[in-house]
Amino acid sequence: MRRTRVAVLFGGPSAEHDVSCASALGVVRALTGDAYEPVAVGINRDGRFRLVPGDVLEKLRDQPPPPRAIDDRLEVTGADVELRAGAERGRAVFCAPGSAEVLAEVDVVFPVLHGPFGEDGVIQGVLESVGVPYVGCGIAASAVGMDKVAMKRAFLADGVPVTPHVWLDVAQWEAAAGNAEPLVAGLARPLFVKPANMGSSIGISRVADGDDLAAALDLAFRYDSAVIVEQGVTGREIECSVLGGLRPEASPVGEVTVANGWFDYEQKYFGDSDPMIVPAVLPEDVERRVRELSVAAFRAVGGWGLARVDFLYDEAAGRLYVNELNTMPGFTAHSMYPKVWAVAGLGYVQLVDRLVGLAFERQELRAGRTR
């Protein structure tokens, strides 16, 4: 029986390139045994696709992982390739540039890509045009899930609670000539200033009383032409994973403990201690509500496959706020997404298998509608 060939796309031109490389190695290692044959295709920072040699994958599969998850990663190496539709419907091929020579043929694609180009609907559009099944959310859900402004609008439309916030574009910021305070009138500190289209806490600043709001806005605008400013919530950071298609399910709940008031990039990937509590210790009714809201948020953006939903829990007031939804969350063995599913009895390898199955399920549903 022929193994299912899975192209694992990783890297990409976004600032989350290294995070993607770390996530992808975990997926490649999970695609073992008789069922799957992984084909790793890296995307360099210039957007060029490269087919990672098979012997490189074999070495990485067997070597012991380093202490930090971010250091245990694939590198974008190998021959340049182009992605094209295969001769057989529903398959894709990677060819030498400008040539008909097929270097690899695949049945399904797992785009383990974070941030712009990979998580915003762009690569999903490419895969749709090729006609190959792929893991994760589709074009629209990915685009909405990447854009924090559009995401919050979708949540509000479906009654999903979010924190008070405003958003600004670069023209508004330039017109303000550095006078930031009127732009955030009505929001209480601390504030969180974020690029609208970025993840992994890149470009984010926490602004307390006396801090330089203008500097935080300047930093965020380095990464995007739109910025969202959110009112902070004093409380706990709670996370929940969603898995499924037409009938999505929510995982047990996890918690992130933070030392400096928020979970920044350094703590996520370079911290010395594990800040995650899995499962989180919460009242039963609060955990149930987290899981209900996670599915509601997933449905609000039109999700498919997977997402991680992040919450702020104001314990004193008994209020939950959905902070954001990530359509391709960190996927190393140390990441929250697989950790909370492990509590439910779904291990990393089984999780990858389920996600690949959901990719084919969506393709079959579409084929049934067009027959």
Binding residues for ATP: 148, 192-194, 200-201, 230-237, 323-324
| Contact between 252 and 308 (Cβ < 8 Å) | no
**Residue 42 CB coordination number (10 Å):** 24
HEC-encoded secondary structure of the chain:
CCCEEEEEEEECCCCCHHHHHHHHHHHHHHCCCCCEEEEEEEECCCCCEEECCHHHHHHHHHCCCCCCHHHCCCCCCCEEEEEEECCCCCCEEEECCCCCCEEEEECEEEECCCCCCCCCCHHHHHHHHHCCCECCCCHHHHHHHHCHHHHHHHHHHCCCCCCCEEEEEHHHHHHHCCCCHHHHCCCCCCEEEEECCCCCCCCCEEECCCCCHHHHHHHHHCCCCEEEEEECCCCEEEEEEEEECCCCEEEEEEEECCCCCCCCHHHHHHCCCCCEECCCCCCHHHHHHHHHHHHHHHHHHCCCEEEEEEEEEECCCCEEEEEEEECCCCCCCCCHHHHHHHHCCCCHHHHHHHHHHHHHHHHHHHHHHHC
Phi, psi of 50 (to 5 degrees): -135, 135
Check if the beta carbon of residue 35 is closer than 8 Å to that of residue 4: yes
In angstroms, rounded to a whole number, what is the distance separating the alpha carbons of residues 281 and 287?
Answer: 9
Do 26 and 348 form a contact (C-beta atoms < 8 A)? yes
Q: Which residues are catalytic?
A: 16, 200, 335
Q: Which residues are annotated as a binding site for Mg(2+)?
A: 310, 324, 326
Question: CA–CA separation, 241 vs 38, rounded Å?
Answer: 25
Residue 100 CB coordination number (10 Å): 8
